[in-house]
Structure 1
Amino acid sequence: MTDPSNYVRTRSQDGTRDVRWPDAPEPLTVPVYDNHTHLEIEDGEVGLSLDEQLERAGAVGVIGVVQAGGDIESSRWSAWAAASHPRVLAAVAIHPNEAPAYAAAGRLDEAISVIDELAAQPRVRAIGETGLDFFRTDDDGRPAQLESFEAHIALAKKHGIAMQIHDRDAHDAVLETLERVGAPDRTVFHCFSGDAEMATIAAERGYYLSFAGNITFKNAQNLRDALKVTPRERILAETDAPFLTPTPHRGRPNAPYLIPVTVRFMAAELGVDLDELCAQVAANTLAAYGPFED
Structure 2
Amino acid sequence: MTDSRRDQPPPAPEPLPIPVVDNHCHLDIGRDGPAAALADQISAATRVGVDRLVQIGCDLDSARWTVGILDEHPALLGGVAIHPNEAPGHHAQGELDEALTEIESLAAHPRVRVIGESGLDYYRTGPEGVDAQHESFRAHIEIARRTGLALQIHDRDAHEDVLRILAEQDSPERVVLHCFSGDMDMARECVRRGYYLSFAGTVTFKNARSLRDALAVTPLDHLLVETDAPYLTPSPHRGQINAPYLIPHTVRAMAETLNVAVPTLCEALSANSEQVYGPW
Moved over 6 A (4+): 14-17
Secondary structure of 1:23's counterpart equals coil
Change beyond 3 A, Cα 1:145–1:44: closer
Cross-structure match for 1:5? none
Identity of matched residues, %: 54
| 2:84 maps to 1:96 | yes
Cross-structure match for 1:217? 205
Secondary structure of 1:110's counterpart equals helix
Give deviations 1:226-284, integer Å, cap 9, x for gaps: 10111110000000000000011000000000010100110011110000000000000
User: Partners of 2:239 and 2:109 in 1: how far apart?
Assistant: 36
Counterpart among 140, 153, 169 of residue 181 in structure 1: 169
| 2:184 maps to 1:226 | no
Question: What's the CA shift for 1:50?
Answer: 0.6
User: Partners of 1:193 and 1:175 in 2: how far apart?
Assistant: 13
Cross-structure match for 1:203? 191
Cross-structure match for 1:155? 143
Contact 2:231-2:242 within 8 A present in 1 as well: yes
Contact 1:66-1:88 within 8 A present in 2 as well: yes
Question: What's the CA shift for 1:83?
Answer: 2.3
Cross-structure match for 2:243? 255
Give deviations 1:5-40, integer Å, cap 9, x for gaps: xxxxxxxxx988711000000011100010000000
Counterpart mapping for 1:7-18 below 5 A: 18=6
Cross-structure match for 2:128? 140
Structure 1 counterpart of 2:196, which letter? Y
Counterpart mapping for 1:48-197 below 5 A: 48-197=36-185
User: Partners of 1:49 and 1:137 in 2: how far apart?
Assistant: 32
Aligned-residue CA RMSD (Å): 1.4
User: Partners of 2:193 and 2:13 in 1: how far apart?
Assistant: 35
User: Partners of 1:84 and 1:134 in 2: how far apart?
Assistant: 36
User: Partners of 1:204 and 1:47 in 2: how far apart?
Assistant: 38
Contact 2:27-2:35 within 8 A present in 1 as well: no
User: Partners of 1:43 and 1:24 in 2: how far apart?
Assistant: 19
Give deviations 1:55-83, integer Å, cap 9, x for gaps: 00000000010001111000111112222
TM-score (norm 1): 0.92
Contact 1:78-1:90 within 8 A present in 2 as well: yes
Structure 1: any 5+ residue segments left out of the alignment? 1-13
Change beyond 3 A, Cα 1:46–1:19: farther
Change beyond 3 A, Cα 1:147–1:23: same
Cross-structure match for 1:25? 13
Cross-structure match for 1:3? none
Structure 2: any 5+ residue segments left out of the alignment? none
Structure 1 counterpart of 2:166, which letter? L
